[in-house]
Structure 1
């Protein structure tokens, strides 16, 4: 079983992210208030380069998911998603006030490939201008995307 990710832009600064592994899954609603796609791509780049961990914020209104990524050995990956009833990243709740809503083991390579494939699909579908129109405050993270593409040798 491998992790599967489906990241889709909606309208007016919203996106939906679904992650599943086997029989478990989690849905996250993401606001343009945080550049979540860019953070996912950056996390994949860091992990591929040997970082022991990375974090991604999926900000809702209110609340947020924190995707905590930990690599014990530079190839395997533990993915834990925490739900906060308000924004811990803005110090509206403490970092200890969360519920674990998803946890699985995967590989850095599969996670990074899933992130790349979603980013590529979004770029192909919307283009740079369409992405900006939908994501309002943020441009498509082309630099990080190209780094990931190079690391994956795509």
Structure 2
């Protein structure tokens, strides 16, 4: 199984940089604050913990959209990172309109740990009210707290 490394670093004025890697290849893109990608990541981790078979996190770039798709089967989790150069919000598109930038197999636990680390880092660096002021979205505190509870049991 391959590793997966997820990084999400906030920048000023509603932008972030998302980085997804298998340890050999790294995909890095800007993520616009027009979509709540941090909430998507938090919900993805909770979805994996609940045993859901499919989950997706989206990262909007203007234009374009990066998607992290996770399909879980028992202990294994396959992932794909797809790039839609023209974006897909409000459009009828298919997988054929995308480019696969990264794919592999890891564990759901590894993905959850990576997302929990992203949330922890942001929560430690930026107060919730400052997060809202700078990005116009609420920090996903409820999801973060639920993940932190699960992390203690892992």
Normalised by the shorter chain, which TM-score bucket? Answer: over 0.9
> 2:150 is matched with which residue?
151
Distance in 1 between residues matched to 2:119 and 2:50, nearest whole Å: 19
RMSD of aligned Cα (Å): 1.3
**In structure 2, C-alpha distance between the alignment counterparts of 1:6 and 1:66, rounded to whole Å:** 14
TM-score (norm 2): 0.92
**Unpaired runs of at least 5, structure 1:** none
Deviation at 1:151, TM superposition (A): 2.1
Q: Give the structure 1 partner of residue 94 of structure 2.
A: 95
Deviations 1:44-89 (A, max 9, x none): 101111000101111111110111110122x211110110112213
The number of equivalent residue pairs is 151
SS at match of 2:93: coil
* TM-score normalised by L of structure 1: 0.92
Which residue of structure 2 aligns with residue 104 of structure 1?
A: 104
Distance 2:104 2:25 in 1: 9
Q: Please tell me whether the aligned partners of residues 76 and 107 of structure 1 are also in contact (alpha carbons under 8 angstroms).
A: yes
* Partner Cα distance (2:5, 2:99) in 1: 22
User: Secondary structure of 1:39's partner?
Assistant: helix
